[in-house]
Amino acid sequence: MMRRTRLLIAAVVVVAALIYVIIGGIRGAVVYYITPSELLAQAEQAREKTIRVGGRVVPGSKTWDPATQELRFRLTDGSATVAVQYHGAPPGLFTEGQGAIVEGSWDQAGVVRARSIIVKHSEEYAPPTPRP
């Protein structure tokens, strides 16, 4: 009887530990972000804090200076637009019109100073076009 109780307690502890690890892993893998409209609505609260902003890169807004490694562009959600400045080479799949999430801080000048850029991939699959 005592051995059975110990096994049951051990099983409960193991299951609880597994649930804790799984939930912690899911939370760590999810990327939460706000839209440019939400950022502008809460601009004062967001100043100088680490934020993630997601949207589409506005076509024609991307400027890249390879000499200084300075990348500037604008992100939009269709309603509002915010300026982004990033120091470093743009990610390989970074293009205008593409979805992106930037992580950084919102400065006093109203610019998101990005420390990282995550390119959002399209979920639409298009098979490669056959070559003649």
Contacts of 66 (CB under 8 A, 6+ apart): none
Q: How many CA atoms lie within 13 A of 103 on its CB side?
A: 9
- Which pLDDT belongs to residue 7? 84
State the pTM of this model: 0.68
pLDDT along the chain (132 residues), means of 10: 83 84 64 84 79 92 92 94 92 86 89 89 58 60
